Amino acid sequence: MKNLIAPHGSDSLNPLFVNDSSQRESLISKSKDMPQLLLNSAAAANVVMLGAGYFTPLSGFMDKKNAISVSNNMLTTEGLFWPVPIVNLTKDSKNIKIGDEIALLDPNMEGNPVIAIQQVSAIENLSDDEIKVMTDKVFGTTDKSHPGVANFLSLGNTLISGDIKVLNYSYFPNEFPGTFATAPEIREMLAKAGWSKTVAFQTRNPMHRAHEELCKMALERLDADGVLIHMTLGKLKEGDIPGDIRNSAIAKMVEIYFPENTVMISGFGFDMLYAGPREALLHAVFRQNCGCSHLIVGRDHAGVGDYYGPFEAQEVFKLDVVKNSLKLEIFSADHTAFSKKLNKVIMMRDAKDHSKDDFVLLSGTKVREMLSNGEELPPEFARKEVAEILMRYYQSL
């Protein structure tokens, strides 16, 4: 794997999943006698990402000093670049003591099975003010109408830190077989394909013509070996399309409209934060851990509503702390759309002589409305085969 970009902050990946099955069985059996903590979905998603090596080189959940340092400066107390605190926040720590080994229970699986074992190194309270400052630094707002903020503020004020051993990947392997993959698995796929220059495309939505062309532009302009279409498979906000539907739609588009052996489709088990620039940086860190050399960062990357400027997520990569820390580079993209004048999909910034009316633009609401009514989407906007998969889903609601 010598031709792949090195993982973040390390020479090798650090997946926290316990590979040895007899050791795993033994830990599961011991966990029955341990103090237990039912995780929230955000902490469970962190467990999956730590287990799968995406959060290399972290070894578990951050303590208060690190969480605050990462929020304020995007650096751990030891100087590792990290854009978002990786924490286990809870409202319920009454049965837990420092030094305990505790069983972390999965909130997203029936019966709440144990997902990981944590060695508790500290139990610390965050004041409401400290939570507020962290929220403001990470999300750029404390407005509870922001779905990421609302979720973060609901998690609790008690921080349980310490190293973890991960026992399973929650519902992701079963619900997304063939799509969910760990960072070591993706590195292996890239190495096998002989790709040393890989562009990652982050998505939580099905891909329309504009997304398809954006991937093709990046492939061509960077002279890359291939594109990794990498999907968020975790919890989304209300109204977002479920992972399995999105998966089928993307697979169909790649099968028909991309040259053979230029695209890999995969997914990761994380809940969207909708944290704009900070989340774009997290996306870059874990794509580097996957072996990708580039990440497409488009207009309002990982944003929601009007909380972030359209290109704030690109600007943040110009900060010294980022440039000095990441090996991965970004492919900065503008909004892409079909130009009626040029009869092709282009980046809107490349068309100085166009007005809005010269493009085929549809809002998400309009798209959902048309699909629900069984109306065909314009071919300039969506591939027919993709639109049919989405239409079947919307009409089943």
The alpha helices in the chain, defined as continuous H runs, are: 21-31, 41-51, 64-73, 128-139, 147-153, 172-175, 183-193, 209-221, 243-257, 276-290, 312-315, 320-323, 364-372, 384-396
The CA distance from 79 to 88, in Å, is: 21
Question: What's the one-letter identity of residue 395?
Answer: Q
Report, as residue numbers or ranges, the catalytic residues: 204-205
Q: Are 295 and 328 in contact (CB under 8 A)?
A: yes
Q: Report the C-alpha gap between 338 and 354 in whole angstroms.
A: 11
Residue 17 per-residue DSSP state = B
Q: What is the full DSSP assignment across 314-360?
A: HHGGGSHHHHTT---EEEE---EEEETTTTEEEEGGG-TT--GGGEE
Strands 294-297 and 198-203 turn out to be: parallel
Dist. CA 72–CA 254, nearest whole Å: 40
* 108 exposure class (CB count in 10 Å sphere: 0-12, 13-18, 19+): buried
- 282: CB partners within 8 A, 6+ apart: 83, 84, 273, 275
Other Cβ atoms closer than 10 A to 297: 24
